[in-house]
Each structure stands twice: as structure tokens, then as C-alpha cells.
Amino acid sequence: MITVVALVILMPFLASVAGLLGSRWPGHARGGKADTAANRRAAWIAIVPTAISTVLAIWLAFGRAGFGGDPRGPAGSADDGVTGTLTVIDTGGIPISVGLLLDGLAATIGVLVTVVALAVQIYSVGYLHDDRRYPSYSAFISLFTSAMLLVVYAADLLVLYVGWEIMGLCSYLLIGHWWEDRDNSRAAVKAFLVTRLGDVGFLFGIFVLGTAAGSFKITDILARLPEMSSGTIVAATMLLLAGVAGKSAQVPLHTWLPDAMAGPTPISALIHAATMVAAGIFIVARLYPVFLAAGPTMDVLAVLAAFGMLGAALAALAQDDLKRVLAYSTISQLAYMAAALAAGSDEAAIFHLVTHGAFKALLFLCAGVVIHTIGSNLMSAMGGLRRELPVTFVTMTIGFAALMGLPPTSGFFSKDEVLVAVEGALSQGPLTDAAALLLYASALTTVAVTGAYATRAWLRTFFGARPIVALPEPAPGTAHVIDVREAPATMRWPVIVLAVPALLLGFARVGGVHWSTAALSVAVALLGAGVVYAVWRSDPVSDPARMLGPLRAPCERAFYVDSVYRTLFARPVLALARLVVRADDRVVDGAVRGSGRTAQGLSGLVRLAQNGNAQLYVTGLLAGVLLIAVGAVMFG
């Protein structure tokens, strides 16, 4: 079985190697234009191995019963999984065990990763049909997928860290795919730097745990947890939480995620649904007993989740860019998962992670269809698309309903479990009373705001009147409407397939619904939706975000967090960099230039004595002899 796990990881990796080599084949791009044959070849190289990996991951999941019960395994422990070791690297200290671990948690997330990655690969064929860099793009997606699968199935924390860092590199390359646009390259650099900042703490957290346990193997760390001191556990989990906040875009390291929308829309779907952002939540679930033993860390996680879920939801309510609405929505929903973890239910967090992966990938790919058709990310350029894009309208409606937590979608069931867990933390659980109360109040308020921003995006995209666009050189009094058509099959079928789990996945847990909490959640979500609908009906042309009043500008700017960071960190660093440049130019380079000028001046003096005048040479020689004689007489 471990051999099959290795194949699940290796297939996308081999696809990435073949794709990168294939991108250098002759005829890949001619005259800056896409080579159709090369793109078609790259598509097959990317899709077939990912499809094989998906089939194997599904087989492993059903073999391990990964879709039921405790996601960490039949008995709720990573020790119940199957572990295989390829080799052990002797470091002179704590050895590194290069091995894989298959349990219920890994099997479940493995299916999520491979299914979404396969959908993204197929969708990208149509979305980037005319892109001359498609072969390298598809290869990087394959490498991204393989890295995330290594994180999921790794049995050793340092092996896991390898996949963790490769994901960071792939995100940089894919977000900056259209690097010619300066905004895209800046977004890629920002994502890379912010996540690297969190990864510093993450690596040190791994070192603390490994040193305390005498092993980096996950099963050994969990087994030796009772032997660790509380200070060690709190320090390790706080450091790990920095990496989790970076990868899963939690406050305060969340600012990279909205800017990552500069990349192609399929990449947004992959990052937001199944890879980067899922990795942080997965790590907490993988090491959940360690986090449960660190009460202060759980309180910190609860506070971060409370502010993150509500703040991001309010930011989403004021955005005009459809992809940024979904980006802030992702931050908010990830905070929901973090809330479930903080409240003591890793099962609810993982269930919501899986359902969110399905409906958020669906929403991003549907948004890609709309953007690809309209030619703009802005909802102010959309409207009235439900008739021209019937498939996209139906599937995106399912996605928005799941995001709001409306029955019978999967989001209804998973959000219910999260809210039940948070509500239970008020009476018992790992949190202090203040942290639990803050978390519960924020979660309920966020339900209403989520209903509001999802309804606003749905109405502005598919209802109302579509704007009239003037011709480039219009005749007097003439204009034309954008020709809107449904997406090609390679883009259409992935959204149809993803709509199925987004709609039906929750029925696997229908017996666990707490109907009183569910009814409250639905009522609150419909309240937020109803307010937006009433505002929109009063003036369908205007943006319903006007109801925010003076709060609209702060929400649109995401409460100026980026501005604060720019003031506190970016500008001082840039000022220091300019100071270093000046010091290098005037002090270091000045010393070098000064030494050159000094040598040149001294050489001029020496040159005066070497002017070719024989009389001067004889005079100098006699003067020297005279000085020597005088010195001998005086000191002799």
C-alpha cells in the first residue's frame, strides 16, 4: 500500500519533469506565439499522470475508509496508519526517516488534492489555449501537486518540510506566470516573502519538537508527547503556528492571498482550494494532540480565527474584483477551519476543509469562465449573464449556496459541524471563556456577512443589466454589447464535475446534523442575503456595498493592513536599503576609488624621479652618498 502512496506522489512529479523537458523541445514557441502541437503534448503529459494519481488516491481513501469517522484513522491516532520507510539519513544527531504515512487524514486530503489538481489541469487546457508558456505552466502545476501530496503523506516532519518549501517556490512561479505585468511579479514576490517569513518559525518549531522527542517522525513525536514539558510544547506550537498563518493566510500573514489573484484563475482555484492554504490547516490536524496540549496556543489560534473570519468577510463585501471577493472569502473560510481546531474539533475542521475545497474550486473556475468571456475581473463590467452562461450560472449558484451554508449543499453540513464545535467550546474545551465567547460571536456574525457578500456577487454577476461597451472607434450614437458564449468543453466539464461534490458531499454526514444550530445558521445567512437583496432591488444599477456607508472604504482597503505594513516595515526597510546603497557608494566604493587616486598621485611623484635626465640621476646618487657619509660621521 505504501508503494501505491509513493506512486500517487511520483506521478505528478514525473509529469513535471517531462513537462519541463518538453517545454524546451524545438518548435515550442515560434515568434512569441503558442505552438498548438507543443501545448497539446504538454496537456497530455500533465493530465494523464494526474488522472492516474487521482484514481490511486481514491482507491487508497476507500481502502482506508478515509471518508468516515475520525479523519486521523480508525482509532483516532496517526499510529493507526500504515508507515513505510525508504531510508534513514544519519545526520550525526537526530536521524531523518524518509518515509510515508497513510491514515484516514492523509487519504482524505490526498483525494481532495488530486481531484482539484486534475480539474485545474483539464480546465487550463481551454483557459490558456493560446499561452505560449502553457507547457512550463502545466509542469509547475504538476510539481505543485506532487509537493502538496508529499506534505500530506510524509511520515517525517523534515520530509514534510521539503514539500512545504517546494510549494512556496511553485506558488511564486505560478502567481507570476504573466510576469511581464509588474503587478503580477510584485504579487508573486509578496506571496513568496510573506510565506517565507512564517516558514522561519515553522522550521524552528519542527526543530523544537524533534529535539524534544528525539525523532522527527510524526508517530514518535505523538507517542512521546507526555514526556515533553508544557513550555516546550507551547514554544513549538507557537512557532509552528507562524508557518500555518503564512501558508493558510491567517491574520496577520494573510495579505499575500488577495494579491495572488494576479495569477491565472486556475492557479487561484488550486491555491485556494487544495494546496497552499490547505497545508496549514492540515498541519494542525496532523499534529493535533500536540496543539491540544498547548492551551495558550489554542487561545491565540482562536483570536486569530475570530478576527480573520469577520474581517475578511467584511473586506469581501466591498470588493469589485470578483476574484478578490473569492480570495477574501477563502481567508474567512480558512479562519472557520482554524476556529474548529481551536474549539477542539479537528474532525469538523477537516470536513469543512474538504467541502470548502470542492465549492471554492468550483467558484474560482466558474469565475474564470465569466472573466474569460467578459474580459474583465470587475463585477461592474458584468451583469445579466444567467441566460448566456446557463451552465456557469447553475454551477456557480451551487457554489455560492455552499459558501453560504444553505441546504442541501455540502457547505451546510460542514459549517454546521464547525458552529457546533465553536458553540461547545463555550462550556467545555481547550479555550478560555473569553476566547470561546469571542470566537462564537465572530462566527455567527460572519455567517450573516458571508450570506451578504455571496448574494451581492451572485446578483452583480448574473442579474441586472450588462453594461454597454463603446466600440473602439464608434460611429456617432452607436455601441455594442459583448458577445457572451458558454465556455469550451475543457472548461465547462470540470465545473460540472466539481458541482457534484459541492452539492452532495455533505450527505455523507447527514446523521450528524444538529438541527437547532443549523436552523440558526441558515436564518442568519438568509438575513444577510435578504438585506443585500433589498438594497439591490431598490437600485439594481448601484453597488449594494453602499449599505456599508462610511465603513465601505476601510472594508474595500481591507482595513488598511497593507498600508500599516508598508509604513511599519516596507518603508523603513527601503530607507535602510537606500542608506546601505549610499554607504556602499560613498564609503566602501569611495575608499576603493580613494585608494586608486592615492596610488595614482604617488605614482606621479615617483615618475618625477624617473624622467630620463642622467644629470639628475648622478646628482641624486651623489646626494645619497653625501647623506650616508654625514650620517656615518654623526652616529659613528
DSSP codes joined into one string, 493-542: HHHHHHHHHHHHGGGGGGGG--HHHHHHHHHHHHHHHHHHHHHHHH-TTS
Rounded (10°) angle between helices 346-374 and 276-286: 180
Extract the C-alpha cell encoding 597.
Answer: 587616486
Structural domain boundaries enclosing 589 = 564-635
* Assigned domain for 426 exists: yes
DSSP for residue 583: H
Strand partners, 97: 88
Are residues 568 and 451 both part of a single domain?
Answer: no
**Cα–Cα distance between 330 and 473 in angstroms, integer?**
41
Contacts for 545-553: CB closer than 8 Å, 24+ residues apart: 545/317, 545/318, 545/456, 548/317, 548/318, 551/314, 552/318
Same domain for 25 and 56, yes or no, is yes
Are 362 and 429 in a shared domain?
yes
User: CA-CA distance, 478 to 462, in Å (whole number)?
Assistant: 25
In this prediction, residue 484 carries a pLDDT of 72
Residue 633: all three cell numbers together: 660621521
How many C-beta atoms surround the C-beta of residue 426 within 10 A? 14
Establish if 229 belongs to a structural domain: no
Residue 428 falls inside a structural domain: yes
DSSP state of 96: E
Q: Kindly state whether residues 49 and 160 are assigned to the same domain.
A: yes
Query: 131 with 34: CB under 8 angstroms?
Result: yes
CA-nearest of 258, 274, 267 to 332 is: 258
The pLDDT value given to residue 93: 85
Helix (H) or strand (E) holding 71: none
Helix axes 104-127, 489-504, angle to 10 degrees: 150
Same-domain pairing of 496 and 610: no
Look up residue 38 and give its three cell numbers. Answer: 507543443
Q: What is the pLDDT of residue 81?
A: 78
- Report the length, in residues, of the chain: 636
Q: Is residue 604 in a domain?
A: yes
3-state class percentages of the chain: helix first, strand second, coil last, to nearest 5:
75, 5, 20
Q: Are residues 573 and 534 in the same domain?
A: no
Alpha-carbon torsion angle 342, 203, 172, 322, nearest 10: 10
In a domain, 503, yes or no: yes
pLDDT for the residue numbered 589: 83
- Taking the C-alpha atoms of residue 66 and residue 614, their distance in angstroms, rounded to an integer, is 100
**Tens digits of residue pLDDT in 253-304:** 999 999 988 889 999 999 988 888 999 999 999 999 999 999 999 999 999 9
- Give which of 421, 418, 209, 431 is closest to 298, Cα–Cα: 431
Instruction: State the Cα–Cα distance between residues 402 and 398, nearest whole angstrom.
Output: 6
pLDDT tens track for 324-345: 999 999 999 999 999 999 999 9
Please tell me whether residues 451 and 363 are part of one structural domain: yes
By the 8 A CB rule, do 260 and 331 touch?
no
HSE, side-chain direction, 13 A CA sphere, residue 200: 6
DSSP letters for 320-363:
-BHHHHHHHHHHHHHHHHHHHHHHT-HHHHHHHHHHHHHHHHHH
Residues of the chain scoring pLDDT < 50: 28-31, 66-79, 470-472, 474-475, 478-481
46 and 180, same domain (yes or no) = yes
**Residue 251 falls inside a structural domain:** no
Letter for the amino acid at 83?
A: T
Q: Same domain for 69 and 155?
A: yes
**pLDDT given at position 74:** 35
DSSP line for 257-281: HHHGGGS-HHHHHHHHHTSHHHHHH
Q: What is the CA radius of gyration of the chain?
A: 31
What is the total count of domains within the chain? 3
Contact present, 335 and 315 (Cβ < 8 Å): no
Residues 461 and 598 in one domain: no
Asked if residue 304 and residue 170 are part of one domain, the reply reads no
Q: Let me know if residue 518 belongs to a domain.
A: yes
- DSSP letter at 567 equals I
Residue 84 phi/psi, 5-degree rounding, is -130, 135
Tell whether 198 is covered by a domain: no
**Of residues 278, 267, 334, the one with CA closest to residue 117:** 267
Residues 264 and 328 in one domain: no
Query: What CA–CA distance (Å, rounded) separates 207 from 215?
Result: 10
Which residue has 501505491 as its cell numbers? 4
What is the C-alpha to C-alpha distance for residues 73 and 211, in angstroms, rounded to an integer?
Answer: 26
Cα angle value 242/271/316 (rounded, 5°): 85
